[in-house]
Structure 1
């Protein structure tokens, strides 16, 4: 029932819900790439991060955006966003005077409903923003989603324009300040020039090129002076080597001739003697040659001295000129320093003003072309199918949930069940055989017949077949009873039905059977056999009637019945008297089987007294109802009374449920045996 009822309830509830449509559009967040050099110090750009994307989603769902959506589409007048405009509740429709009228929904309530309908999702690791809006009107869902994206773009464009305006205003202020500083610098330059006495300023006369030329000339002059001094030192040296090194090239032949004459003179002097004419001639020639060498050398030394003097004079003049030029340049630089500094400052200010003017122009062009940080990648189309409620999914989910709950309920019922639902449970619990499982026969199946008549009319029913199973168990017992007591733990177990049905079945099979109603306080044989007022068991035991007068014949020739008789306050004494066993012994000789229908064990002590008079006792246990503890207590009472238990019978079995229970004896009611039973 749970597995079937829950999907039906879910389907009914979902079918009453208005369908909801979701329209989804997609934004691509791509921040404007501002010129970092242009806006350095004015606009600070940031990298696109997950936190930044989450903040953009929060902007779309902000209170300002929600308020614009409510105002644009008048969402406060729609029941799906204003709970006070929805259908009145059951109580308000039937008892409108007992409940106070609902207060009008505040703007916060409507805004919360609209914010719940507006969903913004940022797929992980992307710069996409998915904007969805849920509504029972598919057109409204699409329009609201698209409007939310457009409002977001307009807000982004306005923010970028505000940034550019701020940057432009800041640069304008800076440009004006630079222009004022440039004007002040021009005035300072004019004053500095007037103070230095020049119209266009003072420039140094000693340029780098002139200083280089003077320095090179001085180096050359000093080199020549050093060479001349070296030659003079060699010439002033008395050694022949120094003299030879300092002599010019035209003196060299004379020096060679001198050496030859010296060698010749030495040879002649050694060979001829000092007064040899050739020796004297050689001396004269050598003296003349040496005079020429000395004259030539003197002339060269004088020339070198003059040249050295000229070089020294030139070096001195160049040093004086360079020192004078440097002095003039230093004085001129001192005069030109203020003006030069101011001119450099003016050049820098002009460059800054030109750059700022270019920046302002670039910002004006970007302001004209400013765009938002995002753009619509795909607008939200009008949905053709509702997104909720998902009828099929909910019903399938309810069916699965119902099945799970049904299984859990069955397991819980199985765990909490304290009764018997199979013969095996009875046998394992009390070590007594369960001789039959008697099915429940309701009034519709009996078609107005009494139970004995039903057994006669339907000899091949499953009910009658279980009676045969009971008879077979009694017949197979080595100590087959001649008298059988039928009792139960408590009322309503079906013991009287069992006793009468067994009696009718045995009588129809040819056995002489007597059924005695021993339930004095609640007799049932009078109504079953239409014997109201007939004498019975108590009348016989009290001696008011004979045994033959107390026995009534049934329409079946082999069946006799004995009613309970008149209600006697001393019934227990009658049953405990000597006449009771004498009566049972006499009836056992006259009949093949005497069936005693006893009261419930817990109801009256008479049940145990009467059960001792029978050869065996059957205990009826109602299937799925009688608690185990009650059955155990009943068996304990019977056992203490020394009563022989022939077996237990499960009565009033629900054959359909028992067939699905899965017990070993469930096979008795399986549909495959339907051909064997006919009602």
Structure 2
């Protein structure tokens, strides 16, 4: 088990347990690995060989590396810019150049330059075909190949050459490593250096082609512009002659200045007019809205209105004082009211005078605006008349100047690009040429061994855990407590695993002959667990059962009965398996009447009981009969029989049939004080045991716990961590055989 849960359980309502979460146990993990040691070693060896053998037998390859650097520096020998600009030194550009170095076009140039199509390492038609490095076929003739076949062969050679190159950037620098791998160190060095050289040559050719194309285009464009310049200058001169503008400068400065001055004055007057109209309009809106005029802007700024308002405020204050002192009809109060009315009339008259003044100012500004507009119109008419002939002339002049300037710029650029040819330089340079490698780069035997070891270990471990995951058997007492939630009563060894191969005996005889052996100790543990499984209550009837046949029920019952008898208890063993009748074969006596005859009343209990000559255990077997009454164990007669046996014996052991296939066992287990569920070590499926325990719980049987039977103590000591059998090597000498 890769994770062994530690079950901490407490009794709840006498029959339920609370199981806590599992914890990781390294020793349990190691135990699982030890358990499948052979399987692990087998998978490891096969995987290790399958990985390492191809690596070790691989043809040695050699890798040579050359280095180029993208150089952002430029040689400024010309005052102009290059036709094809230099490469920037940013990361994106460097990564792009790495891809260019791995391009098919560059690989094809290398193939053509070094004639690699004639190299058997790259041309399969020349090298033949090898089978496991032993048999080599004859070279295949290339004569008679179709053009398509030749093209495919050429592409295959280029792809083969390209697949051997490795281009990478050196950390965060501008240096690029070009590594090539071949079967020969000289060949790898030659191809790596040629790859770097052709990369620089490709850059030069790209710049040369760009300059050549630019010169051709500029030359053709200059011819077109020359014709346009001549036509523009001819049209300009003809227009001057036709309109008598030979000495014209093309402008009328005085007229323009006059218009400019008038426009500025007109703009100022319009602003003044707008301001006067706005003041008048605002004042009229305020009066129209019911205002007394005292909030008009000009009234607010008028010193007369301000003085009158001050007087009114003083009179208003005096009036309020008089009214509060003498009342509204007092002569002084009446006099103060008249003074206030006079002041209001004076304020109203002053405001009307202000409004009238605003109207006069607005009228004056409108007249000034009309006068200036008339003057501007006359000046413009004169200027238009004078410049009418200059409009066309200026247009022709501008056209001629523009065409001439464009022609001159193209002519200068053409001269510059023509002079630039021959001095183009690459944007990269070779930092170091490749040298002969000191040894093969592959196969890397140490790395291959490490890789094979890791893969073999990982796969073997994974398969061990996968196999363990599909192992549904129970191995240790901790498995019983954790996976089944049941107490672990004892572990019964497989007798053959505790003895030498030469020793011939039976478990039933050995438990008497060697009471201090490891095998016998398991039954003594089982006896103690069963007797004390119900504290405060006497345990007399013990049912021994299992989920499936072949789990050692009869052998366990016989050995347990003998062990109890040797401890001084009177024991009777009932054969309750109506289909097998296994006890008959073990007692070695002919049985003519047994349990069924006692229940049927055809024989008495004393007549059918068979005594063990060695331990005085009493057996109640089943006679060899084909007739089996229905519901024999659920009848009151069975209850009476058990009551009789309880009064005569200390312990009654019921050897029952398996729980899953036989329903009678569930009925019989309900009548027992305790039930011991036997589980064959590593064989019985866990699901079968869980189903059996569920069936017994449903009928109310008192399941005391689980017993692991037929345990191989030697195997258990290897991987049974968590169980007493794990320490078998330490304590086996303590017991006698």
| TM-score, scaled relative to structure 2 | 0.51
Q: Using a 3 Å threshold, how does the CA distance of structure 1 residues 521 and 17 change in structure 2: closer, same or farther?
A: same
Q: Which residue of 1 aligns with 2:581?
A: 523
1:561 to 599, 619, 637: 619
In structure 2, relative to structure 1, the CA distance for the partners of 1:126 and 1:435 (3 Å cut) is closer
1:618 and 2:664 correspond: no
Contact 2:180 2:192 in 1 (8 A): no
Aligned to 1:649: 707
Contact 1:153 1:372 in 2 (8 A): no
Contact 1:621 1:631 in 2 (8 A): no
- Residue number in structure 2 paired with 1:250: none
Verify the 8 A CA contact 1:24 1:381 in the aligned structure 2.
Answer: yes
User: Counterparts of 2:123 and 2:498 in 1: how far apart (Å)?
Assistant: 60
- Whether 1:422 aligns to 2:477 is yes
Contact 2:542 2:675 in 1 (8 A): yes
Q: Could you tell me whether the CA contact under 8 Å between 2:594 and 2:609 is conserved in 1?
A: yes
Q: Distance in 1 between matches of 2:578 and 2:541?
A: 19
Among 371, 381, 384, which residue is 2:437 paired with? 381
Question: Which has the higher Rg, Structure 1 or Structure 2?
Answer: 1
- The residue aligned with 1:29 is 69
Q: Name the SS of the counterpart of 2:581 in structure 1.
A: coil
How far the C-alpha of 1:130 sits from its partner, in A, is: 1.7
- Counterpart in 2 of 1:130? 177
Residue 169 to residue 438, structure 1, CA distance change in 2 (3 Å): closer
1:465 counterpart residue number: 521
Match runs of 1:181-200 below 5 Å: none
Partners of 1:408 and 1:629 lie apart in 2 by 23
Aligned equivalent of 2:454: 397
Q: CA deviation at 1:520?
A: 1.0
The reply on whether 1:12 has 2:49 as its aligned counterpart is yes
Would you say 1:118 and 2:165 are equivalent positions?
yes
Pair 1:667–1:454, CA change in 2 (3 A): closer
Counterparts of 2:475 and 2:217 in 1: how far apart (Å)? 99
What does residue 630 of structure 1 align with?
Answer: 691
Name the structure 1 match of 2:98.
57
Match of 2:558? 500
Whether the 8 Å contact between 2:122 and 2:161 is mirrored in structure 1 is no
CA contact 1:483–1:595 (8 Å) conserved in 2: yes
CA contact (8 A) 2:594 2:623 kept: yes
Deviation at 1:653, TM superposition (A): 5.2
Judge conservation of contact 1:25–1:146 (CA < 8 Å) in 2: no
Instruction: Describe how 1:405-484 pairs up with structure 2 within 5 A.
Output: 405=462, 422=477, 426=481, 433-440=487-494, 447=501, 449-456=505-512, 458-476=514-532, 479-484=537-542
* SS of aligned partner of 1:486: strand
Question: 8 Å contact 1:78–1:85 — kept in the other structure?
Answer: no
1:212 maps to none
The 3-state SS of whatever aligns with 1:27 is strand
What runs of 5+ residues in structure 2 fail to find an aligned partner?
1-35, 134-148, 220-410
CA distance in 2, matches of 1:678, 1:115: 77
Q: Does the CA-based 8 Å contact 1:450-1:528 persist in structure 2?
A: no
CA distance in 1, matches of 2:576, 2:213: 116
The answer to whether residue 653 in structure 2 is matched with residue 607 in structure 1 is no
Separation in 1 of the partners of 2:209 and 2:670? 114
C-alpha change, 1:59 and 1:581, in structure 2 (3 Å) is: closer
Shift of 1:405: 3.8
- Taking the aligned partners of 1:49 and 1:616, their CA distance within structure 2 comes to 84
CA-based RMSD of the aligned residues comes to 5.2
Aligned counterparts of 1:401 and 1:424: Cα–Cα separation in 2: 26
Is structure 2 residue 596 aligned with structure 1 residue 596?
A: no
2: distance between equivalents of 1:375 and 1:114? Answer: 23
Q: Indicate the SS of the match to 1:394.
A: helix
1:424 and 1:159 map into 2 onto residues whose CA distance is 74
Q: For residue 467 of structure 1, report the CA deviation from its aligned partner.
A: 0.8
Q: Give the C-alpha shift of residue 575 in structure 1.
A: 4.0
Q: Secondary structure at the match of 1:514?
A: strand
Deviations along 1:126-174, whole A, 9 cap, x unmatched? Answer: 2322223446x4x26x623541431430453365378569979999999
Once residues 643 and 202 of structure 2 are traced to their aligned partners in structure 1, the CA distance between those partners, rounded to angstroms, is 115
Kindly indicate whether the alpha-carbon contact (under 8 Å) linking 2:669 and 2:696 is maintained by their aligned counterparts in 1.
no
Aligned residue pair count? 473
Alpha-carbon distance change, 574 to 604 in structure 1, aligned in 2, over 3 angstroms: same
Shift of 1:633: 1.9
Alignment deviations for residues 239-291 of structure 1 (CA, whole Å, 9 cap, x no partner): xxxxxxxxxxxxxxxxxxxxxxxxxxxxxxxxxxxxxxxxxxxxxxxxxxxxx
Cα deviation digits, residues 446-467 of structure 1 (max 9, x gap): 8464332343455444432121
Distance in 2 (alpha carbons) for counterparts of 1:532 and 1:109: 89
Task: Give the Å deviation of 1:521.
Answer: 0.8
Gaps of 5+ in 1: 89-102, 176-351
- 2-structure distance, mates of 1:420, 1:87: 48
Q: Secondary structure at the match of 1:147?
A: helix
Q: Which residue of 2 aligns with 1:147?
A: 191
Q: How big is the shift at 1:599?
A: 1.4
Secondary structure in structure 1 of the residue aligned to 2:450: helix
C-alpha contact (below 8 Å) 1:507/1:559 kept by paired residues: yes
- After superposing the two structures, state which structure 1 stretch, 606-615 or 161-170, moved more: 161-170
Q: In the superposition, relative to structure 1, how do residues 61 and 615 fare at CA in structure 2: closer, same or farther (>3 Å)?
A: closer
What SS does structure 2 have at the residue aligned with 1:17?
Answer: helix
What's the offset of the Cα at 1:597?
Answer: 0.3
SS of the residue corresponding to residue 678 of structure 2 reads strand
Q: Distance in 1 between matches of 2:730 and 2:646?
A: 42
Describe the superposition over 1:626-654 as per-residue Cα deviations: whole angstroms up to 9, x where unpaired: 33641442332441xxx555554344557
Whether the 8 Å CA contact 2:189–2:434 is kept in 1: the answer is no
* TM-score normalised according to structure 1 size: 0.55
